[in-house]
Chains A and B, each alone.
Chain A
């Protein structure tokens, strides 16, 4: 019995998926060079000195490898067995953290352990992923049942709420990534689609809220969002209902009413043509409700609700924006490009775009980036680390990093899908979803595409906690995957 275990464990190290391991090592090494570039001044050569950030990162990387190795040596049964206990302990730790943590830049999320500061939120991701996997792995558990979905949502939303209490909104948002896992496991696609539609309405509606539509009294924002709602509605009827005649009727009615309103506005007197669209959409709602009742088809009702809800969302988004705190409103407007404010809210993003843009095709070369070297970009070795890649390695280097991340994520999709146990698959999806979310938000922020949310770039950003957190997260999956063959 003892001998068998020994053999299994040795094999787990040898049979860990080598593609993932290689990509993991590459990202870490590439990250280390970026930290050298970002944290040193021109002419420095003491990259290995523990007093410098690059020197420290070497130690963190070494420890990460040790942690990874240890995880591969642990029997994978323990993960399953200990999940409940770990989850409870972690939640308690998250709960007490704000009370025992020091205040660092306005957030209370770091616990001091001698020379090392640890951020429990980084490890909570991993525990939550285990908990979600365990729950989904239960026999007969399926997320297309609303009750199960609520249970799963609770497991995710609890740490999220606790982390918000530590004023680490960015880290808390990462938990939204779990909904991608839920989608894979059967959560109705409508949830994902609704979330997507809401973001689309919000971005388009606010971005063009003050751009007038030529020759009319309405704005480009409202008009285009209503066009999208109308098209979504027609599309959904077309896909989900058998009688496409309704879709065509709504289509032609919309063309007729909005078209004549546009014509009147352009030819006679400018009017607010989006009001005509409101008429079309409300009419659609009533029309669909009528058919839902008369034909007893519930889908019509849902689509009708979606249409009206979308319209309501558009108006309330505008209303909400006008009633936000001024600095929050400015942030949103800067992000959407409504206003430019390169000295204030937009400073970080503008400087980081300058850094990346100045890199050109080949980049300025290792340790030659002026933008990052001279500290124009804030947080340049943590959250804005990707700037250094962009400036020093140029388009080639930064695309390579993006492709490495894509390789890792697609490889994890492949690995997750080959698991025989639901538990293992769900955990795999948790890992890749969290990584994808981090890459999406972090690089998007540096490129000026997503909001400035302070979350690290996996395996890249300086810092032990995040590196170890991601290593544990990833290597548990590698261990589970290795165990699958035995």
Chain B
């Protein structure tokens, strides 16, 4: 059930690709009028599209509709669902934990977006000509991304441990008294957010490195001849020409952050006093659906989360016209 919000991701990716296509077009003059081609080609195109269409219908659209249906029912624990109208949505609005979870989720999203500027800077550093061992650095940054989140969570919990964690040991060397990072309500959300950043940065790095590589060297040479310094070149050439990649990354980043679940779930146990300030909308969804037997309300919550994701993605697409340059 929790999978469907990625529908928006799929759409985002789809739209983005179209944008990219447009970006490669200008050299070839005005876009050619669309050639419909012979019937056979058309038919085989549909043939190739069928598997993905079926997958999309079965695994995204159908569960989505089912979730929508469930959200109006009281889901019988042992079978037998009854129609309850908008009652589940009422609960979502009234429950204080929903407000908190939403606030936490937005903090995770803000922290997640902080990954992007960091990744852009690192991508630039890694793209410097003559840098040795680039492949090693790239691998080092990418490994956390392909590591199982539950493993990442466990290891970081050890590092963060208040009594014998390495973070506090390191801090004690410089005379700072550490805390119980993950179980202290004031620090927990940031401690987990930091791990989130750490494990995602490699992914955005790859996108940005590819984006920077695609910028023609002539621009930089011309700028250098005109006397532009490295900073000027970064802000006037790299950033604008990287903006399509930044846009893509930010869309994906917002969607991913709003769907944070595994790290939070692994890093916080049921007796953690910081639970109220760490749980996200999705962990709350899990709790309602699988611990408290209120699948109906959980479905309502999931559906609202999907609407939020769709809305934010839509806003991002509207705003991109103002700042994304498809050179």
A and B pair up: no
Interface residues of A (CB under 8 A from B): none
Interface residues of B (CB under 8 A from A): none
